Amino acid sequence: MRKSISPQNLTAQLQYRAAGNPPSTLPGAAVSNACPGLEMDFRNVWKRILVGIVLHETTNVVVGVEEDAPAPLYVLPTLYQLMKVEGEPVTATVTGPLIAGGPNVPIPNTSSDSVTNLEWSNALADVLYRYSGKEVVCEFQTIDPPLATLKFNLRVRHFFEKVLLPGGKKATQAVISRDIAEAGALTQSLCSPWQNDYRVCACFYWAATRPDYVNVELGEDGASVGNNWMQKDRTPESAKVYVVDDLQDQRLLTYGDLFREWEKALRFVIGNQDAE
């Protein structure tokens, strides 16, 4: 049956919202452009961008190999991280001021090396543009000591779906390729703002509907003191000590606490202070 409205050229294919679809199904309108998203998790398209291996959606760790991957790749999962593609690093050293107005210095992180993963859409955009369908040199390094490196030539998958036309030519369509996003891949890790994201998302991310730093008081020296919102002990008498986030630290709420007893664990915060 003929559709009542059928997009023809590429801009129309990219922008058209089919009847019945909500506005958020358009790439430009969806809350899915960052990690992870409410209706799809765009990060997942990058997991299979290199043929043979499966990358983690946010870190550069190799989490798996594909079924028909050559045997040498089997050493990579969970032990190695991707460092460079065609000589371009996928990580960067993060620098900035530690105190307001201070000098730019390497920012400490949990592994003490100030190195962070670049978001795949940025790190691999140029690789995709130049090398789609071609082989690239991928450099891997062990996650934990002892340091070891490996290099493999892997093929970059095409990002957009291609259809075979009469005569053998292929046309590129304005949709994400099935090859890099298998059925279910885009929805397998959505936001859960009222469960996990309560714990994992800090206040600078939209899914966090809570403050990070509460019961704040300004000291005479100009520095502030207060509590991490995830601290269990937050009575008026509690020490104004900020407990740094750590899943193992018993002073902080766990995911389990939130799932089991959220109504007891969570409290109202008004004007940055715990409400009685």
Partner 1 sequence: MQAQTRLVQIHRNGFAPAERLRPPAFHLFGTAAGSHVLMVNGSRIFSIAEDVAMALRASDDEDQAIRYFGLDAPAYIDDAAPLDPPVRSLSLAVAQKCNLACTYCYAQQGDFGNVPKDMSTEVADRSVDLLFSSVRSGERVQLTFLGGEPLTNRGVLRRATERAAILAARSGTEVRFSVTTNGTLLTPEDGEFFERHGFAVTISLDGPAEAHDALRPSKGGAPTFDRVMSRVLPLLRLQRRMQVSARVTVTPLNLSLRETLDGFLNAGFHSVGFSPLLSSGSGQAEMSGQELETMLAGMVACGEEFERRILRGERYSFLNMTNAMQQLHKGTHRPYPCGAGAGYFGVSADGELYACHRFVEDPDGHMGDIDSGPDRARQRTWLTERHVHRQEPCRSCWARYLCGGGCHHETIRRGRPACDYIRGWLDYCLRAYVRLLHARPEYFAA
Tell me whether residue 170 or residue 178 sits nearer to partner 1 (CB atom): 170
> What is the smallest separation between the CB atom of 169 and partner 1, expressed in angstroms?
4
> What is the smallest separation between the CB atom of 26 and partner 1, expressed in angstroms?
8
Site string for partner 1, 46-85 (x = CB under 8 A): ----------------------------------------
Going 141 to 142 to 143 to 147, the CA torsion angle's sign is negative
Q: Which of 9, 112, 235, 250 binds partner 1 (CB under 8 A)?
A: 9
Query: Nearest CA to 43 among 130, 117, 126?
Result: 117
Contact between 222 and partner 1 by CB under 8 A: the answer reads no
Span near partner 1 by CB under 8 A; candidates 5-13, 39-47, 141-149, 225-233: 5-13
Structure tokens at 9: 């050229």
**Under a CB-based contact definition with an 8 Å cutoff, are residues 109 and 115 in contact?**
yes
Query: Nearest CA to 214 among 254, 268, 252, 258?
Result: 268
Phi, psi of 226 (to 5 degrees): 175, -170
Contact between 203 and partner 1 by CB under 8 A: the answer reads no
The widest CA-to-CA distance across the chain, in whole angstroms, is 79
Contact between 98 and partner 1 by CB under 8 A: the answer reads no
Structure tokens at 121: 């859409």
Contact between 19 and partner 1 by CB under 8 A: the answer reads yes
Amino acid (1-letter code) at residue 255: Y
**Under a CB-based contact definition with an 8 Å cutoff, are residues 253 and 200 in contact?**
no
Q: Round to whole Å and give the CA distance between 105 and 18.
A: 49
Contact between 15 and partner 1 by CB under 8 A: the answer reads yes
Contact between 213 and partner 1 by CB under 8 A: the answer reads no
Span near partner 1 by CB under 8 A; candidates 4-12, 64-72, 73-81, 117-125: 4-12
Q: Which of 66, 113, 126, 249 binds partner 1 (CB under 8 A)?
A: 126
> What is the smallest separation between the CB atom of 29 and partner 1, expressed in angstroms?
8
- Token pair 């390497």: residue: 106
**If you compute the radius of gyration of the chain from its CA atoms, what whole number of angstroms results?**
23
Tell me whether residue 4 or residue 235 sits nearer to partner 1 (CB atom): 4
Long-range contacts for 234-243 (Cβ within 8 Å, ≥24 apart)? 234/267, 234/274, 240/215, 242/213
Using CB under 8 A as the binding rule, the residues of this chain from 138 to 197 that contact partner 1 are: 165-167, 169-172
Contact between 130 and partner 1 by CB under 8 A: the answer reads yes
> What is the smallest separation between the CB atom of 15 and partner 1, expressed in angstroms?
5
Contact between 104 and partner 1 by CB under 8 A: the answer reads no
Contact between 132 and partner 1 by CB under 8 A: the answer reads no
Q: Round to whole Å and give the CA distance between 179 and 184.
A: 12
Contact between 236 and partner 1 by CB under 8 A: the answer reads no
Structure tokens at 14: 């990219």
Residues in contact with partner 1 by the rule CB under 8 A: 2-12, 15-19, 28, 126, 130, 165-167, 169-172
